[in-house]
Amino acid sequence: MAYADNFSEAIGGNVKQMLIDFEVTAGQASGVSVSNCFAYSYSLNNSLVSGHLGAPLSVAFTNLVIAGVHCMDAATAHITTSNATVSLSP
């Protein structure tokens, strides 16, 4: 699964108010990649990458820029993980 060339001007409008929200609640997902993702600002709530106990989720970000900051780790990108791994590269 690949997402490329995403751009976000405003975040909100729903209960979650998250920039990134990947959740797998049944089955499994693998090989998730996100490239060239740009956002004007951070969201009100931390983003979430979540797998489930039997099948952890792995997401690779390339060139994730939020509020002008090249994010190189989950903390800088304000991403919370649960049964998941997140990798970020320029």
Strand order in the sheet with 47-50: 21-23, 47-50, 79-82
Give the pLDDT score at 89.
94
DSSP code at position 67: T
CA distance 4 to 39: 13
The tens digit of pLDDT for each residue in 29-79 reads: 777 999 999 999 998 899 999 998 888 899 999 999 999 999 999 999 999
- Band (pLDDT 50/70/90 cuts) for residue 86 is very high
Cα torsion through 27, 30, 36, 41, rounded to 10? 40
Give the pLDDT score at 73.
96
